[in-house]
Amino acid sequence: MLFKSLTISYSISNPNLTFKSFLNPKFALQIKPISSLKVIWRKDWKLDQAIKNDKRYKLCARVVKEVLNEPGQVIPLRYLDKRRERLRLNVRVQTFINNNPGLFDTYYDRIKPKSELVPFLRPSNRLRNFLEEEKRIYNENEELVVSKLCKLLMMSRYKVISVDKLVHVKREFGLPNDFLVNLVPKYSNYFRLTGSPGEGPSFLELVEWNPEFAKSVIEQRAEEESRLTGIRVRPNFNYKLPAGFFLRKEMREWVRDWLELDYISPYEDVSHLDQASREMEKRMVGVLHELLSLSLLKRVPVPILGKFTDDYRFSNAFSSVFTRHSGIFYMSLKGGIKTAVLRETYKDDQLIDKDPLLEIKDRFVKLLEEGWQKRVEMLRLQREQVRKDMEMMAMRNEELSEQSCDEEL
């Protein structure tokens, strides 16, 4: 079987909807009643490979984060070993360290004043140098980070989001670990923090609406095309099905009519729209498109997006849009986790336009690769030494054998 399939059904509750064509307002399209629309989920090997490529990097990042979050950024090795299940680490910590040299230094200390000496881990000098580079990159892209945080708030229903949610998604969107401490107070004209993070309910509120931030990636793209061609370009989604993917006739007609609806900006007030309307779905797809566009890797695990269901007025079954609109999104099942991927941002398994903050990831991967190369070279030298030792032993045994023969004669 070349691909796995999954059938997802979608029903239109109001079969008598009509709307005016954008190209010809006098011409009204009649939506035919459709009892059910089925879309076959198909595996996209190349986009799955993009997720697989980051598996080792993400594992190393989780372990590093665990150590850096410890007091003094040091931890007994055996304590970290006890957290293997939570870290999804399928080898012992010592094996992980041996396989990824350059991340940590091992030293011996006492957990208690009179206890035995035990191995501790601390960041290596190379890792500390990387952390300094990370700070520099964040400082250089501070305006980008501020705009991302503003956009996340501007798309929400009440322009306010729980701090816990923002902290949970900071890695997906490239927010620095200390954004609540250093960034938010610095930009008090944009943000207001209420409550006490870590001690009780706390929220980040938008203070000032910046019209420059209130343009989605789709609207910016349409404006740029209009400027280059001199012809007004209608903002809309890039809809391109992957090779070998076909929609049934009923679904093709529904998608065509749905795309004909006016684009609704994710920053527009939609309090007047019915939650079950097609217009609301167009807006929801627009919000999801914008969220994935703001993310570092242009993909986000579906459970993380689900945390914002109330904030962004998603329907409870919002995840079905990733399959229903397969020309816009891909829903990967790689690793047993549903991940929403924005198709237009990838060519095969590679990102087309990289977020400037991805330089942090690139530098961390470089640090890892240098360690892996060092380990490969060390193993090569060990094998070479074993080969030489075996040759010396063979020569020695041969000499002893010849000496024994001479004595017998």
Q: Model pTM?
A: 0.82
Q: 249 and 321: one domain? A: yes
Q: Domain span at residue 310?
A: 5-35+237-351
Flag whether 317 is in a domain.
yes
Q: 90 and 121: one domain? A: yes
Q: 188 and 246: one domain? A: no
In the chain, the number of structural domains is 3
Distance separating alpha carbons of residues 408 and 78, to the nearest angstrom: 59
Which run of H or E residues covers position 60?
Answer: helix 55-68
Flag whether 167 is in a domain.
yes
Flag whether 218 is in a domain.
no
Q: 116 and 161: one domain? A: no
Q: 193 and 248: one domain? A: no
Tell me: the pLDDT tens digits for 295-322? 999 999 999 999 999 999 998 888 889 9
Q: How confident is the model at residue 408 (pLDDT cuts 50, 70, 90)?
A: low
Flag whether 229 is in a domain.
no
Q: How confident is the model at residue 80 (pLDDT cuts 50, 70, 90)?
A: very high
CA angle 129, 367, 131 (to 5 degrees): 30
Single residue among 171, 192, 210 that ends a domain in this structure = 210
Here the tokens at position 365 are 């991967």
Q: 28 and 103: one domain? A: no
The runs of H, that is alpha helices, within 206-357 are 217-229, 249-260, 278-294, 302-306, 321-324
> What pLDDT score does 11 carry?
37
Flag whether 46 is in a domain.
no
Q: 264 and 341: one domain? A: yes
Flag whether 382 is in a domain.
no
Single residue among 93, 127, 161 that ends a domain in this structure = 127
Tell me: the pLDDT tens digits for 113-122? 888 999 999 9
Q: 328 and 266: one domain? A: yes
Flag whether 265 is in a domain.
yes
Single residue among 351, 378, 397 that ends a domain in this structure = 351
Q: 166 and 272: one domain? A: no
Q: How confident is the model at residue 332 (pLDDT cuts 50, 70, 90)?
A: very high
Q: 93 and 190: one domain? A: no
3-state helix, strand, coil in the chain (%, to 5): 50, 15, 35
